[in-house]
């Protein structure tokens, strides 16, 4: 086997990849529903259920949480009561994420995860500990930037594992263009 420039085996020609047809997509119903299909969470009105985008991000972080937590204190907070959050986590099979409830607190409003009307917003915040003091270190400004027509907020894309698997241009990684 001949290795490519990066020291890995080259990919086969695109014609050798199996094409996904309509029949295969019929088994993936995720695009048909905005919320969970089964379990206690599916019985909730959509407005009271988990955010589909947040759920997708947490699904991805679940796999990384065990490793990330060796260096960083990783936690996800939701406005729902803790019992509801933990029930949903059990339905999703989340075992590694540290989940917190911000119910009956001003956390979401204080850190731009809630509008003045009480609507929840997907927000990512980073805090830094300096001795005994914990300070807000970073929040994505891109969340507040206008989006292009038909686009969703894209403020946490750079930490999403699946986002980072996207195709990269050919050539050395440090070359632009």
- pLDDT tens-place string over residues 135-151: 999 888 787 888 888 87
User: In terms of residue numbers, what domain contains 111?
Assistant: 39-145+153-165
Residue pointed to by tokens 């698997």: 165
Q: What pLDDT, on the 0 to 100 scale, is given for residue 172?
A: 53
Q: Indicate whether 24 belongs to any domain.
A: no
Count structural domains, the chain: 1
Between the CA of residue 130 and those of 72, 98, 133, 134, 136, what are the distances in Å? 14, 21, 5, 6, 11
How would you class 80 by CB atoms within 10 Å of its CB: exposed for 0-12, middle for 13-18, buried for 19 or more? buried
Residue pointed to by tokens 């955010």: 51
Q: Indicate whether 174 belongs to any domain.
A: no
Q: What pLDDT, on the 0 to 100 scale, is given for residue 95?
A: 95
Q: Indicate whether 102 belongs to any domain.
A: yes
Residue 85 near residue 78 (C-beta atoms within 8 A): yes
Q: Indicate whether 105 belongs to any domain.
A: yes
- pLDDT tens-place string over residues 110-126: 998 898 998 888 888 99
Q: Indicate whether 33 belongs to any domain.
A: no
Q: What is the pTM of this model?
A: 0.66
CATH number of the domain at 101, please: 3.40.30
């Amino acid at each position: 086997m001949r290795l490519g420039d990066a020291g890995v085996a080259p990919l086969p020609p695109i014609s050798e990849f199996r094409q996904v047809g309509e029949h295969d997509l019929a088994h993936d119903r995720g695009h048909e529903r905005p919320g969970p299909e089964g379990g206690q969470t599916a019985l909730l009105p959509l407005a009271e259920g988990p955010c589909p985008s947040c759920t997708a991000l947490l699904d991805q972080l679940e796999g990384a949480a065990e490793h990330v937590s060796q260096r960083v204190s990783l936690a996800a907070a939701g406005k729902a009561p803790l019992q509801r959050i933990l029930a949903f986590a059990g339905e999703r099979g989340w075992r590694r994420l540290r989940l917190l409830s911000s119910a009956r607190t001003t956390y979401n409003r204080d850190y731009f995860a809630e509008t003045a009307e009480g609507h929840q917003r997907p927000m990512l915040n980073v805090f830094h500990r300096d001795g005994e003091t914990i300070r807000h270190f970073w929040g994505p400004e891109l969340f507040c930037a206008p989006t292009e027509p038909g686009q969703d907020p894209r403020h946490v894309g750079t930490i999403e594992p699946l986002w980072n698997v996207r195709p990269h241009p050919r050539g050395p990684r440090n070359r632009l263009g």
